[in-house]
């Protein structure tokens, strides 16, 4: 899903645009989905693609929603990120290239991964 910056700005709120299109980060412990415990799926705020299932969400204490794995291997893609003087692995929506957050290798078994994802980058779709 390719759109120009101008098109995205018209479609998204200022916060969502900043996080998803400008690779921003919301302040820790402020995201609307951080403490969500409902059953369902977390979808991309830009294109509504399914990204993560509630079953993979866990309390990491990092300040952002954390997941142990994506909804499926094709849901996200990865890029090396050297911003802010750090080496990290950026997580992006595979469908629309929205910046979601980063993945770290300090998560729970069995994956050992912690997908640290901005609430602003997602919409929650509860089970009916």
Catalytic residues: 116
Backbone angles phi, psi at 37, to 5 degrees: -120, 5
Contacts of 26 (CB under 8 A, 6+ apart): 15, 19, 64, 118, 119, 120
* Cα separation, 40 vs 68, whole angstroms: 15
């Amino acid at each position: 899903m390719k759109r120009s910056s101008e098109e995205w700005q018209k479609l998204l709120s200022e916060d969502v645009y900043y996080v998803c299109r400008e690779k921003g980060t919301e302040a820790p412990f402020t995201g609307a989905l951080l403490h969500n415990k409902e059953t369902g799926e977390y979808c991309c705020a830009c294109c509504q693609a399914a990204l993560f299932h509630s079953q993979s969400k866990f309390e990491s204490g990092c300040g952002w929603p954390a997941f142990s794995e994506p909804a499926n291997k094709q849901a996200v893609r990865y890029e090396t990120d050297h911003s802010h003087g750090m080496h990290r692995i950026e997580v992006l929506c595979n469908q629309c290239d929205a910046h979601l957050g980063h993945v770290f290798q300090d998560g729970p078994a069995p994956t050992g991964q912690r997908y640290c994802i901005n609430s602003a980058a997602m919409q929650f779709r509860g089970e009916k």
